[in-house]
Chain A
Amino acid sequence: MYRIIFFALLLPLFISQISFSSTPNLKKQYDEFQKTYSKTLDLSKDKTLFTKNFDSNSKSLKKKYDVFSKTENTEISIEGNQMALDIEMLEPLEFLASSRMDKESCSEAELLNEMNSTSAEKTYQKIKEAIQTLCKYR
């Protein structure tokens, strides 16, 4: 009987210990993702750098998200939600990076970004500026 009580008391402690130990790991993963994300957005300041590195940065962000998502298992955390949204917001730049960056591609990237305008206003503005910089020659 005492054994059962003992385990019943110990079990919640054990579970909270597991989630506590995984939290710092998730936090670290999230912070790393955000660092890479800022760097990725900054790439658009230089067209050559953008063309060279955007694709690999974008892939790295997706990989980081996948690792995070697997770590949190079936939980749906707000940090994970943020990472998923950040990835989707990058899509107009992803499209631009894979295009010839001509007038038509630039205008399509602008349209894709416009369709994201209400999803995350600050990021939308940053990406709008990035597209304008990358399509400056127009």
Chain B
Amino acid sequence: MEKIFFLSLLFAFNSNAQEKCLSGKTGNNHLIDQLQKARSESPISKLISAKYNIDQKTEADSNCVDCEKPKNKSPQKISANQKTYFKSECIEAAASIQTGSREISCPDQKIAKHQFCFTKSLVTYQNAVLSEMYKCVKFTTGLPLTPDGLFEMYTLESGFKPAYTNGGGTGLGQLTGIFIKDLHQKHRGLSTLNSIAKSTEKSCDAAKIILNKDLKSQPQFKNKCEFTQYGEGMERNILYTLSGLASSWKKDIEPLMKDFSAKNADNNLLPKAQERALLNSYGPGGRAAARAAVRRLSKLTPEKFIAAMDKPMMTENNNNLTVYTTRMHKKQNIIGQKLSGDLRSQFNKEGSSACTE
């Protein structure tokens, strides 16, 4: 009888320690175990966890099964100095949307419909990595991308989940082989990677650990764990996405927008137009379509430029020049429905900026 009592107590304690899955199957703890291991072994994870005080946060969360979502509208401050750019409630809303089906387990690289449990603790860590890498790349390259745009992009790509992989894309930013190859080319992205590797900015410390390794020996895309696994892969995925965007801005979009930017320098909607043009270049529509959209819309005002970017722009041969921004725009409408309370009203009014600081 006593044994049964203790077993029940143990069961009750364990189920209490089990975090609620925002997506995936309860008890399918592959990602949770992977992150735990990373935080004890990986210098990158240790550095970011310490900087954002994640240990304290996770301990507090670990006994919480059905925690109420924070009612506070302001972004979550994890420590006095380091704050994240994205509101956890918004990432959680994005994570609850299924954006793929096949996931990769690491390090065995088994791809299947795993349905890994994705929890708040994982959201907290990813929010910290995203914020850190964003600060680093933004500071080093002047990337014209706001956290709002970044939120919209990751919502569409993976719903902030790190292990999705399919024929085309892998991981959080759904990176492709050609994207990574382009980033390491001498006349294309390599200068961006080099500038980050040499950056004196403190927020680049984690990025530099990754790049010091990658610039000696380029990571192999066929090993998908190098772009998904917590500890280095997921972090690399974010760093490469941002670096690729910075490179694309410098090489593909900025030169084409030069006259438009000069003409509308005083217009406060110019940065938004630039961001829309840049984000469109990240998507599956391809580089030529993204540049063609810029070429077409540069004769309009920034306001009309932005509006046109969120609608299909078809060609005579039925290609869409704004395939990515159109999809991003549609996806954000779903996010609005997933939020609740004040944040929902704020999101419906302001869009993705309600999800960031």
Contact = CB atoms under 8 A, between A and B. Distances in A.
Interface residues of A, number: 26
A119 B182 contact: no
Contacts of B284: 118
A84 B316 contact: no
A119 B283 CA distance: 10
Contacts, number: 86
Interface stretch (A14-22, A48-56, A72-80): A72-80
B72 interface: no
Nearest to A85: B292
B282 to A, nearest CB: 12
Contact of B296 (A81, A89, A111, A117): A81
B187 interface: yes
A78 B292 CA distance: 12
Contacts of A44: none
Interface string B64-82: 0000000000000000000
Contact of B315 (A81, A115, A116, A117): A81
Given A76-B297, A84-B296, A119 B287 contact: yes
A87 B292 contact: yes
A82 B315 contact: yes
Given A76-B296, A84-B292, A85-B292, A117 B314 contact: no
A118 B295 CA distance: 18
Contact of A81 (B181, B285, B287, B314): B314
B190 to A, nearest CB: 12
A116 B296 contact: no
A94 to B, nearest CB: 12
Contact of A69 (B299, B304, B315): B299
B185 A111 contact: yes
A118 B285 contact: yes
B225 to A, nearest CB: 24
Contacts of A69: 296, 299
B289 A119 contact: yes
B4 interface: no
Nearest to A120: B319
B237 to A, nearest CB: 19
Contacts of B319: 85, 119-120
Contacts of A80: 296
B308 interface: yes
Contacts of A88: 287-289, 291-292, 295
Contacts of A115: 178, 182, 286-288
Contact of A120 (B188, B289, B296): B289
Interface string A40-80: 00000000000000000000000001000100001010111
Nearest to B323: A118
Contacts of B291: 88, 91
B233 to A, nearest CB: 23
Given A69-B299, A76-B296, A85-B292, A108 B287 contact: no
Nearest to A104: B186
Contacts of B181: 111
10 contacts: A74-B299, A78-B315, A81-B314, A85-B289, A85-B319, A88-B288, A111-B178, A112-B287, A115-B178, A115-B182
Interface of A: 65, 69, 74, 76, 78-82, 84-85, 87-89, 91, 108, 111-112, 114-120, 122
4 tightest A-B CB contacts, nearest first: A119-B286, A88-B288, A82-B316, A119-B288
Given A81-B315, A111-B188, A119-B292, 15 more contacts: A76-B297, A76-B313, A78-B316, A79-B316, A80-B296, A81-B313, A84-B292, A88-B289, A111-B181, A112-B287, A117-B178, A118-B286, A119-B285, A120-B289, A120-B315
